[in-house]
Structure formats: C-alpha cells, structure tokens
Amino acid sequence: MYEQIRLIIVQKIYEKITSSNKDIKFKKHPYIRYIKKIFYAYFEREIDLEKILKKHLDNTKINFNNIDLLLKIILKASIYELCYVKKTPSKVVIDEYLNVTARFYDTNQKKLVNAILDSVYKSQ
C-alpha cells in the first residue's frame, strides 16, 4: 500500500517534468494529501535536494549528469522524505523507494539508490 504511494509520487513528478501540460491531475486516493505534500515539496526544495544528492554522489564517483531523469526523481523524492518528513521511519522510506526503483531498474541502480539513501540517513 505505502509503496504504491511512493510510486504515485514518482510518477506524478515525472509527469510534471516531462509533460507540456503542467497542470497535473491527482486521482482520488486515501493518502492524496500526503502524495500532494511530497509532490509540491519536491519542487519547492528541488535545489536543496539536488545539492544533497550531489554531495552524496561524490562518494560513488558517479557524475550527476550521467544519471537519468527517473532515477534522479526517485533519489530526490526519497531524500526529501528522509530529511524533512520525520513521521515515517527512515528504514520504511528507504525500503519503499528501493522497491519503486526495482520496478524500473536492475540491481546496479538499486544498489546505487541504497548506497545514496544509506549515506543520507547516516549523515543526519
């Protein structure tokens, strides 16, 4: 159930970034308030999230510009939740975003997401 929430968040952010129609519609959902909260906060704090991501990417020797858009969205959305939403346990956030990552990518990208999120978590 909660993994579905993170999947919707990632999909809606991707839709907003890639769509020429910037008016994103949200379907009825029991957790729509939470989904919208993360969605809007992602764009409000995008510069900060990118800085945090770049800082933690330094340890992996992977260039920020070489990461595709969807993976950046997954990483930045999960970093937002880890850093700014203290209500949800960090382990839950990490596990659910790893599951979202696994829907789109292979093991290497999932390992990258895990390493970045673990580094962000430990730095707090």
Report the pLDDT value the prediction gives residue 1, as an integer from 0 to 100. Answer: 58
Here the CATH number for the domain that contains residue 67 is 1.10.940.10
Counting the structural domains of the chain, the total is: 1
Asked whether residue 21 carries a pLDDT value surpassing 80, the answer given is no
Q: Are 113 and 101 in contact (CB under 8 A)?
A: yes
pLDDT (tens digit per residue) in 26-65? 999 999 999 999 999 999 999 999 999 999 998 788 899 9
For residues 97 and 105, what is the distance between their CA atoms, to the nearest angstrom?
A: 12
Q: Are 91 and 53 in contact (CB under 8 A)?
A: no
- On average, the pLDDT of the chain sits at 93
Domain that holds residue 63: 2-122
